[in-house]
Structure 1
Amino acid sequence: MNKMKKEDREQVIAAIQEYFELERGEQLGSIAAEQLLDFFMKELGPFMYNQGIRDAKGLVEEKVMNLDEDILALERPVGRNFYR
């Protein structure tokens, strides 16, 4: 599950190392930080991915509802009201 761009992965590893240094007063090597990242991606990745899917689904449903309302607003009255 190593689907991050190399630059992004390096940035996250650096952030993990910085977090451990600032918040815990511990120095974490790059290999340990990379292993921690792999663990979190494996364990938390599916939850985050699924939430992203649910968020996207909600946005699409909202857009479709708005589109449906916009299309219905284009309807013209039917009947013999053209003399009024």
Structure 2
Amino acid sequence: MIQFSRQERDAMSDALKAYFSEELDRELGQFEAEFLLDFVSRELGAYFYNRGLYDAQSLLSGRIDELGDAILALEQTPGSN
């Protein structure tokens, strides 16, 4: 399970409490919000984490392709100094 700092957990709990209040007309206490946060992290967190990894891999792959193209553009033909 991903570990978050107390400040991060508080911010996420506050976001959950605000969402429940505004969208669902339901008040969540701090304990309920943290309990829900733990559930979401445990049961759904891997999906978000993996998507972040796939996105980073895709971005890095594109940058490596760009670097390869830049290197090829520097290539010189022998005897054409």
Return the TM-score normalized by structure 1. Answer: 0.87
In the alignment, what sits opposite 1:31? 31
For 1:14-72, what per-residue CA distance to the aligned partner results, in whole angstroms no more than 9, with x for missing partners?
11111111111111111011000000001111001111111111111111100001001
Which one scores higher on RCO, CA 8 angstroms, separation ≥ 6? 2
In the alignment, what sits opposite 2:11? 11
1:54 partner letter: Y
Distance between the aligned counterparts of 2:18 and 2:75, measured in 1?
A: 59
Aligned residue pairs total: 81
2:8 partner letter: D
Dislocated runs of 4+, deviation >6 Å: none
In the alignment, what sits opposite 1:64? 64
Return the TM-score normalized by structure 2. Answer: 0.90
Gaps of 5+ in 1: none
Structure exhibiting the larger radius of gyration computed from Cα positions: 1
Gaps of 5+ in 2: none
Deviation at residue 2 of structure 1 after TM alignment: 5.0
Distance between the aligned counterparts of 2:21 and 2:27, measured in 1?
A: 5
Root-mean-square deviation (Å): 1.5
Worse overlay, 70-79 or 25-34: 70-79
